[in-house]
Homo-oligomer: A and B are copies of this chain.
């Protein structure tokens, strides 16, 4: 399997396109991750707006260059809001990212709703191993929002999801894997403390949307976002010990990647 990283010229070039295009990226996400997600996008030069305020849900998905939907956002908006954003993005041809947080953790109604959004054809789906194994119809293994499976165990599941949905699918873990259903690439590196920063995965979904909004095709956008994130996490990890400083340094390093 091919390994990709920040050293790759096309990753760097596609990442630099974000700051050059400075795209407007719109997201529905949960209030735990919203602050970090917005700061990650601002750090790389994108212009985020988040939230279902009034008619933003009917207008911003069409005006934005990319959209991300984190289904844990159901904690502050109703299901119809998510459906409307996904439908509007799909109708406008805006690429959108699905982040099925905590799917498979034991909440059957929630899980069913998450799966219903696949109808609107996300360009990219990202999650942890438990979530993606569950999304693919496998045994539900999640413990709340945490995974109990390793990313390597999800490689077959993500390829199957990609073939069934037409989306690029990416699983986060000690090694990240990204597939279009035919080709799968590995993104080694990163830092284990990413799992100890709330919203770190959610923010990676937002970054995928920003990369797509800058004109990268979905498979390239997912590769660019994951490789940049892994590089920033490694650099952040090299100069911090605790998890609080690591989270701050992660944003720093994203903002300095192209410096």
Residues of A at the B interface (CB closer than 8 Å) are 24-26, 30-36, 38-39, 42-43, 47-56, 58-60, 63-64, 71-77, 79, 102, 105-110, 113, 143-146, 195-199, 240-245, 247-256
Copies in the complex: 3
CB of A100 to closest CB in B, whole Å:
12
Tell me which residues across on chain B come within 8 A of A109, comparing CB atoms. 54-55
Given A109-B55, A146-B24, does the pair A102, B49 have CB atoms closer than 8 Å? yes
Given A34-B32, A75-B77, A110-B55, does the pair A242, B247 have CB atoms closer than 8 Å? no
Of A102, A107, A244, the most chain B CB neighbours within 10 A belong to A244
CB pair B107 A54 closer than 8 Å = yes
Of A56, A79, A249, the most chain B CB neighbours within 10 A belong to A56
Given A35-B32, A107-B59, A252-B244, does the pair A72, B47 have CB atoms closer than 8 Å? no
Tell me which residues across on chain B come within 8 A of A30, comparing CB atoms. 50-51, 53
CB pair B144 A47 closer than 8 Å = yes
A47 to B, closest residue via Cβ: B146
CB pair A252 B241 closer than 8 Å = yes
A114 to B, closest residue via Cβ: B54
Sample of 20 further A-B pairs with CB below 8 A, known A53-B72, A56-B102, A59-B108: A24-B144, A26-B144, A31-B51, A35-B35, A35-B198, A39-B196, A42-B243, A51-B76, A53-B73, A53-B74, A53-B75, A54-B113, A55-B110, A63-B106, A75-B77, A196-B255, A240-B252, A241-B252, A241-B256, A242-B253
CB of A90 to closest CB in B, whole Å:
19
